[in-house]
Amino acid sequence: MSRSLRRGAVAAIVLAAVLPLSACAAGNQAETLQIKPDNAATSVGQNLRLNNVLLVTAKGASSDEAGPVNLTVNIANTGSAPEVLQSVSVEGAGNATFTDAKGAEVSEITIPAGGSVLIGGEGQPAVHLSSAKLPLGGYADTDFTFKTAGKVGLPVGVVPAEGLYASFGPKAPEASAKPSASASASATATGSPSATASGSPSATGSATATGSATATASASAH
Residue 177 buriedness (CB in 10 A; 0-12 / 13-18 / 19+): exposed
Res 188 pLDDT > 70: no
Give the predicted TM-score (pTM) of the model: 0.61
Determine the average pLDDT of the residues in 106-116. Answer: 97
How far is it, in rounded angstroms, from Cα 46 to Cα 112?
15
- 190-213 burial: b if 16+ Cβ within 10 Å, else e: eeeeeeeeeeeeeeeeeeeeeeee
Specify the higher pLDDT residue, 182 or 76. 76
Residue-wise pLDDT for 4-19, tens only, equals 545 445 444 444 444 4
Determine the average pLDDT of the residues in 195-200. Answer: 44
Residue-wise pLDDT for 132-178, tens only, equals 999 999 999 999 999 999 999 999 999 999 999 999 999 766 544 44
E strand residue ranges, the chain: 41-44, 48-57, 67-77, 83-90, 94-95, 97-99, 105-106, 109-111, 116-119, 126-132, 139-146, 150-160
